[in-house]
């Protein structure tokens, strides 16, 4: 097998996150799974041009044709460069949200179980284990993607579990979701299912429903009605309120991720969340 190295951007940023061991392990897995892929690292500078633009056009053309093309997630560029930029943003939000100086409830998270939705390669899952000293972290990802076998191996090494679905895993104290729900065509229905199945006390999420990016939908659906992306953010927040969550006031920049704390139980699940 010819030597296949991690893209410089991937190694540089993972090292910068303080996961040098993770980076070395990832490189081994990367060589196994991507040795036959030629990776184009030229982004073209901005969305709409170069490789980023090609993937965006492929995704949105598939929406026009009525058949979302989820194979965009398998593109090595998406995995190695574009996805990593988003996950770095998630990492910053995770560090901020577990900082007591920015979030008054951060000290209470110690030892809680966490469901990391759309965890990619597991960088955020590993960091959740470290920052929260969690009793249990489970990251979710699509089993069809090339990322899944990689994250399985890394999860074994770093102590977090990996699952394809989040709905049969039982109770979690915290649901962490950064840039996740906008990749779901029926996000409110999915949120309701998560709350019912996982009975969280906390939902920590950053959504960009009105942003245009690979995997985002132009319209979302709820109860058989189509809504523009610009409306979904308001509806999503309203649903959290109706499920008994209150938005916590933090000093996190731009209030992202948003922290929601369940202070009123309005469901009939067997496992009741912890209320403070």
pLDDT in tens, 28-37: 665 565 555 5
- 185 contacts 59 by C-beta, under 8 angstroms: no
93 pLDDT tier (thresholds 50, 70, 90): confident
Highest mean pLDDT among 60-74, 88-102, 193-207: 193-207
For residue 6, is pLDDT > 80?
no
What value does the mean pLDDT take over residues 74-89?
67
How many whole angstroms separate alpha carbon 144 and alpha carbon 1?
24
User: What is the SS3 string spanning 47-64?
Assistant: CCCHHHHHHHHHHHHHHH
How many whole angstroms separate alpha carbon 147 and alpha carbon 24?
16
How many whole angstroms separate alpha carbon 181 and alpha carbon 118?
9
The architecture (CATH level 2) of 8-262 comes to 3-Layer(aba) Sandwich (3.40)
For residue 234, is pLDDT > 90?
yes
Q: Cα 207 to the chain's mean position, in Å?
A: 10
How many whole angstroms separate alpha carbon 255 and alpha carbon 164?
29
43 pLDDT tier (thresholds 50, 70, 90): very low
Note the pLDDT of residue 72. Answer: 87
The 3-state DSSP class for residue 153 equals helix
105 pLDDT tier (thresholds 50, 70, 90): very high
Note the pLDDT of residue 36. Answer: 53
- 113 contacts 171 by C-beta, under 8 angstroms: yes
2 pLDDT tier (thresholds 50, 70, 90): very low
- Which residues contact residue 49 at a Cβ distance below 8 angstroms, ignoring those fewer than 6 apart? none
- pLDDT tens for each residue of 47-80: 445 777 888 999 999 999 999 998 888 776 676 6
- Which residues contact residue 32 at a Cβ distance below 8 angstroms, ignoring those fewer than 6 apart? none
- 91 contacts 116 by C-beta, under 8 angstroms: no
The encoded tokens of residue 199 equal: 């009975």
Note the pLDDT of residue 245. Answer: 97
DSSP 8-state assignment for residue 139: E
- 116 contacts 180 by C-beta, under 8 angstroms: no
268 pLDDT tier (thresholds 50, 70, 90): very low
- pLDDT tens for each residue of 167-188: 889 999 999 998 899 999 999 9
Of 255, 182, 170, which is closest to residue 213 (Cα–Cα)?
Answer: 182
What value does the mean pLDDT take over residues 250-272?
76
Note the pLDDT of residue 275. Answer: 41
Note the pLDDT of residue 241. Answer: 96
Of 221, 217, 254, 258, which is closest to residue 241 (Cα–Cα)?
Answer: 258
Query: Omega into 267 within 30° of 0, i.e. cis?
Result: no
Of 105, 122, 112, which is closest to residue 29 (Cα–Cα)?
Answer: 122
């Amino acid at each position: 097998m010819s030597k296949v190295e991690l893209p410089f951007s991937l190694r540089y940023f993972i090292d910068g996150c303080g996961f040098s061991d993770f980076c070395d392990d990832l490189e081994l897995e990367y060589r196994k799974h991507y040795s036959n892929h030629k990776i184009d690292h030229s982004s073209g500078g901005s969305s709409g041009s170069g490789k980023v633009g090609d993937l965006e056009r492929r995704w949105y053309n598939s929406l026009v044709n009525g058949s979302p093309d989820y194979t965009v997630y398998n593109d090595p560029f998406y995995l190695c460069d574009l996805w990593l930029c988003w996950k770095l943003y998630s990492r910053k939000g995770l560090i901020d949200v577990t900082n007591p100086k920015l979030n008054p409830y951060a000290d209470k998270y110690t030892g809680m179980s966490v469901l990391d939705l759309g965890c990619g390669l597991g960088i955020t899952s590993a960091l959740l284990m470290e920052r929260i000293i969690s009793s249990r972290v489970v990251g979710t990802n699509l089993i069809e993607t090339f990322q899944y076998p990689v994250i399985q191996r890394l999860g074994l090494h770093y102590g977090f579990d990996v699952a394809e679905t989040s709905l049969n895993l039982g109770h979690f104290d915290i649901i962490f979701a950064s840039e996740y729900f906008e990749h779901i065509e029926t996000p409110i229905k999915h949120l309701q299912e998560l709350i019912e199945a996982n009975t969280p006390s906390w939902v920590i999420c950053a959504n960009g429903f009105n942003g245009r990016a690979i995997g985002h939908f132009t319209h979302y659906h709820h109860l058989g009605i189509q809504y523009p992306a610009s409306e979904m953010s308001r509806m999503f927040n309203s649903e959290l309120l109706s499920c008994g969550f209150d938005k916590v006031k933090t000093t996190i920049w731009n209030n992202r991720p948003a922290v929601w704390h369940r202070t009123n139980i309005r469901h009939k699940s067997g496992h009741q969340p912890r209320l403070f």
